[in-house]
Amino acid sequence: MNIAEVIDHTNIKDEATVEDIKKTCQEAKKYGFRGVCVRPKWVKLVKKELKRTEIKVIVLVDPPIGDSPHQKRIRICQKAKRDGADELDVVCSIPDVKHQRWEKILKDLKEICKILPTKVIIGSGYLTDQEIIKASQIAKKAGAICVKTATEKDPLEHRELKEKFYHLKLMKKGAPGLLIKAAGKIKTLKDIKEALKAGADIIGTSSGVEIIQEFKK
């Protein structure tokens, strides 16, 4: 398989500059990554840089715990669409999950999923096994295309890989038929292979270049 085609090449650093984002896009074109994932302010630039390619422009919405008001989330997603985004990586409201406000979560995500194809980040490092399954079910019910483990600052970043990959299996159980995206300190070819084996379809990583170079060796 072509490892590059499952990687969403990610640059969500607060301190990223125009030149950093352009470099991320050039790397995506060079290696043929699935997509480039950035913060909302960079969507227009990434769209321009990836013109005449099949690489998806992906925007991260409302990190780290998805706790912005609903209307603000909608405005961010609508602007991302106008700016040229192809997909949304939206953080589910972790506080609402912890308080089991499932109807509120469903309503929020349903509206977002109508704007663009949406991957729902459930923040699995914050959740119990049952919450992971339920949040995955809600993402599927809302019309998401994918359920994603984590983004920045998720406690999952600092867990053992076997625990991360156990979460993938729970997500698969909760949302059969949906794509599953693994993220959070996936840095090596071995990490990717194990994630795919555990059920991941897409990998979010900022180490895509290093992983492809390792693969080629």
Q: What burial class does residue 102 get, using C-beta atoms within 10 Å of its C-beta: 0-12 exposed, 13-18 middle, 19+ buried?
A: middle
- Tell me how far apart the alpha carbons of residues 77 and 22 are, in angstroms, rounded to a whole number: 22
* Amino acid symbol at 216: K
Interval 34-57 mean pLDDT: 98
DSSP 64: T
The verdict on whether 89 is a catalytic residue reads: yes
Q: Which of 89, 108, 154, 191 is catalytic?
A: 89
* Amino acid symbol at 77: C
pTM score above 0.85: yes
Lowest mean pLDDT among 119-123, 125-129, 182-186: 182-186
- Tell me how far apart the alpha carbons of residues 84 and 172 are, in angstroms, rounded to a whole number: 30
Q: Is the pLDDT of residue 132 over 80?
A: yes
| pLDDT interval class at 2 (50, 70, 90) | confident
3-state secondary structure at position 126: helix
Q: Which of 62, 86, 181, 191 is catalytic?
A: 181
List domains and CATH numbers for the chain: 3-216 (3.20.20.70)
The verdict on whether 181 is a catalytic residue reads: yes
Q: Which of 134, 148, 164, 172 is catalytic?
A: 148
What's residue 148's pLDDT?
A: 98
For residue range 143-162, list pLDDT tens digits in order.
999 999 999 888 877 777 77
- Tell me how far apart the alpha carbons of residues 215 and 2 are, in angstroms, rounded to a whole number: 10
- Tell me how far apart the alpha carbons of residues 87 and 12 are, in angstroms, rounded to a whole number: 15
Q: Report which of 3, 40, 47 is spatially closest to residue 22, judged by C-alpha positions.
A: 47
